[in-house]
Amino acid sequence: MAAVSPARANTLLLGVMSFGLLLLMAASVRGGVAGAAVAGAAGTASAPIVSAERSITRILLNVIHFFRDIDADERENVKLRREVARLGAELARAGERGQENARLRRLLGMREDLVPRSVGGSVVTSRLAGQSRVILVDRGGSDGVRPDMAVVAWGGAVGRVVSVERDFARVRLLTDPNSGAAGVIVRSRVEGMAVGRGGDPMEMLYVPKYADVVVGDRVVTSGLDGVFPRGFGLGRVTVVGAPVGASKTIRLEPEVDDRSIEDVLILLEPAGTRLLAPEEPESAP
């Protein structure tokens, strides 16, 4: 029997490996057992590496923050004192409005809770490639995190949990080309769907061509997608382009810069599922 040349043997090996990996990808898309088993083995094998990496990264981040904060602390302190004074007055007014809002919502039969239960988490790592934008957070199934939960940060919506392990969760960012959130323009209440475009600015789809939209308008989540509650910032309109068919082309600058996310909040209840008790007595006017 003729011996197979090394080059041909390697090509054959490539074919076998490619076929196996394609099957693995198909299994992972369909949620098959084989995909989960190989993923579990990969996770177990690399867990010590990631554990060591996290310890070293934490030390490095502490050092970086220490030097960065030394300069910024003094200026920040003065700024924060002013902000606290302003927010104190604002809070008192908001309290009044909140009570009024609760009364009006009950009158209108709106039962959605405004403050969903949540858990805070830190970003372990991230991948901001063109076709895939994902972060890994250090909260998982043991903390009550489940797929499809909304993830927000200081400033606005960040993304959606796509898969969960025991101690961490993978979050697909809103800038990922396969992500989207229902949004509404705050000024004109025009609704649309904000979708990611990789490294490019986000796009808002399905906005009628005669809708009132101008550059600088702020877009927040509308709550219609069933993932994000209402009111979390999505971005600001940077471009209002020529209409394509019946829709306008709108570009958004994301509210949260995904290149600098360090801590996030995972909302543990899907939007609109927490109900106020119907028998809850109204507060005295």
CB of 160 to another protein, least distance (A): 10
φ and ψ at residue 274, rounded to 5 degrees: -90, 120
Stretch near another protein under the rule CB under 8 A, chosen from 52-60, 85-93, 101-109, 236-244: 52-60
CB of 49 to another protein, least distance (A): 5
Q: Which is nearer to another protein, 161 or 220 (CB)?
A: 161
Q: Determine if 61 is a binding residue for another protein (CB under 8 A).
A: yes
Cα–Cα distance measured from residue 227 to residue 148, given in angstroms and rounded to the nearest whole number: 7
CB of 16 to another protein, least distance (A): 10
Which two three-digit tokens encode residue 187? 């000024």
Stretch near another protein under the rule CB under 8 A, chosen from 18-26, 75-83, 84-92, 186-194: 18-26
Task: State how far the alpha carbon of 177 is from the alpha carbons of 106, 146, 194, in Å.
Answer: 39, 22, 11
Which two three-digit tokens encode residue 185? 């323009």
Partners of 169 in the β-ladder: 137, 164
Q: Do residues 231 and 76 touch, judged by C-beta distance below 8 A? A: no
Cα–Cα distance measured from residue 211 to residue 189, given in angstroms and rounded to the nearest whole number: 10
Question: How many CB atoms are located within 10 Å of the residue 193 CB?
Answer: 16
Length of the chain: 285
Cα–Cα distance measured from residue 90 to residue 183, given in angstroms and rounded to the nearest whole number: 26
Of the candidates 99, 101, 178, 188, which one interacts with another protein according to CB under 8 A?
178
Of the candidates 116, 134, 150, 152, which one interacts with another protein according to CB under 8 A?
134
Q: In this structure, what DSSP letter does residue 138 have?
A: S
Question: How many CB atoms are located within 10 Å of the residue 134 CB?
Answer: 19
Q: Which is nearer to another protein, 44 or 77 (CB)?
A: 44
Of the candidates 85, 100, 101, 125, which one interacts with another protein according to CB under 8 A?
125
Of the candidates 62, 77, 131, 283, which one interacts with another protein according to CB under 8 A?
131
Q: Determine if 30 is a binding residue for another protein (CB under 8 A).
A: no
> Residue 283: CB partners within 8 Å, gap ≥ 6?
99, 102, 103
Of the candidates 111, 118, 163, 186, which one interacts with another protein according to CB under 8 A?
163
Stretch near another protein under the rule CB under 8 A, chosen from 103-111, 131-139, 225-233, 276-284: 131-139
Q: Do residues 175 and 197 touch, judged by C-beta distance below 8 A? A: yes
Q: Determine if 50 is a binding residue for another protein (CB under 8 A).
A: yes
Give the interface with another protein as residue ranges (CB under 8 A): 5-7, 9-11, 13-14, 17-18, 21-22, 24-26, 28-29, 35, 38-39, 42-43, 45-46, 49-50, 52-53, 56-57, 60-61, 64, 123-132, 134-136, 162-163, 170, 172, 177-178, 196-200, 258-261
